[in-house]
Structure 1
Amino acid sequence: MRFTALWLAALCILVFILQQVFTTEPFLLIKDLTWSEPWRILTSIFAHSNLAHLLSNLFALVLFGLILEGRIGAKRVLWLFLISGILINMFPFYERSLGASGAIYGLIGALILLRPGMVIWVNWMPMPMFVAGIIWLIQDAIGVFIPDGVGNLAHIGGLGIGIIAGIYWRKKGYGDRIRRQKRKRDPELEKQLDEWEEKYMR
């Protein structure tokens, strides 16, 4: 399955629509119900509190997900996203929580290892991916002690899972190998993606 991030984004949109038609309650992760109603561990990953929450997560998911897919392939992106989100939700930090940000931080953690020098914009400033990761980690660490309504511990947990996965893939050389295979399969598409990444992400 190509373009995993787009399919995951579409699922987030579908769940958000269902939330508006029905209610958020069935999708919400509730700490006391984690094991008696285990489906919440998965459904809460795709649910969001409001439109702004959804759009911000979709932007990060599509951006980082597509770039990471170019390094490790679609299946690994899917599994990293799901494993990050599920592991975090199996041990909930908050009484009630929802959102894909913890799973997205898993993708970010892997990118920090696989594309540390990739330039992105954070707070209107260009910086390497690994520097952005440090800044986000510091912000979330501060947020743990100064609560701001954001799932900071979930972010940190997802980042850690992604970094562990990134270390493994970096040692195995999966990034380079998948990239070569993709070019052989669809060179024109890969050329367009590479040009876009070169123009906007360096």
Structure 2
Amino acid sequence: MKTHMARPTLRTLALFAAVFAVQTLGGVVGIGTGLFALALPLGDRPWTIVTSVYAHGGFTHLLANAVALAVVGPLVARVTTPIRFHAFFLGTGAIAAIAQIFLTVPLGPTAVLGASGAIFALLGYTLVGNRASEAVLAWLPIGRRGRLTLFAVVAAVLTLATAAPGVALVAHFVGFSLGAVAGRGRILHTSREATPRQ
């Protein structure tokens, strides 16, 4: 893996580790994950819109997200700039987390933390924003609505594949969907030749 391609992914992994270290130290002195987790009302702890994306519920959670990021992160990093990568990661992760807490209100109060929404956005971008996908979509006579339906079905299948107690499924679905839409427009690509043809 080339260094410039790995750099945004490595920096994000370093943020994971730093935030987890602070979480662990906080646990020792009696500060729980509430300082990092996103919950309603958002105005009570607005910084958690950011911290919740990089915080994790335990070492296993951290490890799973770190491995997933190590796989998909460099694929996106190679087509974009570090600033765009980090803005996309934080933005999609925050939106996915906010969607998770608002859309699960009927199930009772909830809090969310972890990078899986952002990682699913990177996955969606990777799957949709490449030449092979573009060729397949151009070949399929399904139109714009058909493509949106296809993206939603793929997002649902991938979301359900990760279903387990305590998993933020809404965040996974929203993250993948955001990534797929962004990938279709190739908004992170910096090369002129990367612009999709109409």
TM normalised by structure 1 equals 0.68
Residue in structure 2 matching 1:138, options 154, 157, 167: 157
Give CA-to-partner distance per residue, 1:8-49, whole Å, 9 cap, x none.
11001111111111132211112x232222111111111111
Share of identical aligned residues, percent?
Answer: 28
> What residue number does 1:123 align with?
none
Give CA-to-partner distance per residue, 1:36-82, whole Å, 9 cap, x none.
22111111111111111101101111221111111233222212111
4+ aligned runs moved over 4 Å, structure 1: 133-136, 141-144, 175-179
Residue in structure 2 matching 1:16, options 4, 9, 20: 20
- Report matched runs for 1:79-158 at 5 Å: 79-91=87-99, 92=101, 93-94=103-104, 95-115=110-130, 137-141=156-160, 148-158=165-175
TM normalised by structure 2 equals 0.70
Number of aligned residue pairs: give it.
161
> What residue number does 1:26 align with?
35
> What residue number does 1:64 align with?
72
What root-mean-square deviation, in Å, do the aligned CA atoms of Structure 1 and Structure 2 show? 3.0
Give CA-to-partner distance per residue, 1:118-177, whole Å, 9 cap, x none.
9xxxxxxxxxxxxxx966631524877xx622111100000011011101117x9x3654
Change in CA separation of 1:135 and 1:150 when aligned onto 2, cut-off 3 Å: same
Gaps of 5+ in 1: 119-132, 180-202
Whether the aligned pair in 2 keeps the contact of 1:114 and 1:175 (CA below 8 Å) is no
Offset, 1:96 = 1.2
